[in-house]
Structure 1
Amino acid sequence: MSDTTTAKVRKTDAEWKEQLTPEQYRITRQHGTERAFTGPYWDSFETGLYRCVGCNAPLFRSDTKFDAGCGWPSYFEAVSPVAVTEHRDSSYGMVRTEIRCSRCDAHLGHVFPDGPPPTGLRYCINGHSMVFEEAGK
């Protein structure tokens, strides 16, 4: 399967629980959020590619990552326009835009209109929803 395909990955709840750690499952399948400054990658700036923990789909390149000071990995752009899908999230008395992996529907985090140029967007992503592939490895 190439990185550009958007073929859906569908698994049973039991299959997801077998594949993912309890924290990864809570975040990606139950739409959870890790506490700020506790998850992986929030303070990591190595060169490479961030992929979905559920299906290995490419999500974000390290050259789009920036320090937003919020305690979660933040990016100004997804790896492609079809890498993530947007969904209205009106939980906890707020209205936000939830971001999910377009391939396996994993909850990744949220996108906000307060990011840097060139997009003005801040993809605020749970580190446990991703795996990092270092460049050249």
Structure 2
Amino acid sequence: MAQKTIERSEEEWKKVLTPEQYHVMREKGTERPFSGSLYYNKEKGIYTCAACGQELFSSDTKFESGTGWPSFYDVISSDRVKLKEDTSYFMSRIEVVCSRCGSHLGHVFDDGPAPTGKRYCINSIALNFKKEGEEDKQGGEGK
């Protein structure tokens, strides 16, 4: 089940997030492909929202898509993300946002592997990684 919703003013988000995170997560920007540290991560664990700490993806569903961003074929639970139509940049895509804090994470496409056929293409900067057996560094409520 999704955790309690977190609401903050944009000024509060600017204090919690780095400028790069703010641009991606609150202004719906994107990071350069192949630039994110979690793109190359092969360790077992859980990927959490960098803004609020909600658990989003398991390393068990991460796969190499070749796109330059961490890709997953499923979320931990469907209530952890919200999907929204995105028609920016003259494209039709489905935006993925954290259901707890509303932060932009990336997009989902229908060209992923079995069993779901989905590719959640997520900005590395929008995620933190909790290694299997470790506590979340964020404590579940932002930085």
> Fold conserved (TM > 0.5)?
yes
Give 2:11's aligned amino acid.
Answer: A
SS of residue matched to 1:88: strand
Give 1:126's aligned amino acid.
Answer: N
TM-aligned CA deviation for residue 7 of structure 1: 1.8
> In structure 1, what is the equivalent of residue 116 of structure 2?
119
Give me the identity figure in percent: 48
2:91 pairs, out of 90, 94, 105, with 94
Question: What are the ranges of 5 or more consecutive residues in structure 1 without an aligned counterpart?
Answer: none
State the 4+ residue runs in structure 1 displaced beyond 4 angstroms.
none
In structure 2, what is the Cα distance between the partners aligned to 1:5 and 1:33? 25
Q: How does 1:68-83 map to 2 (within 5 A)?
A: 68-83=65-80
Partners of 2:2 and 2:80 within 8 A in 1: no
Partners of 1:39 and 1:72 within 8 A in 2: yes
Question: What are the ranges of 5 or more consecutive residues in structure 2 without an aligned counterpart?
Answer: 135-143
TM-aligned CA deviation for residue 45 of structure 1: 1.1
Give 2:91's aligned amino acid.
Answer: M
Tell me how many residue pairs correspond in the alignment.
134
In structure 1, what is the Cα distance between the partners aligned to 2:70 and 2:37? 8
Give 2:95's aligned amino acid.
Answer: E
SS of residue matched to 1:98: strand
In structure 1, what is the Cα distance between the partners aligned to 2:105 and 2:133? 25
TM-score, reference length from structure 1: 0.96
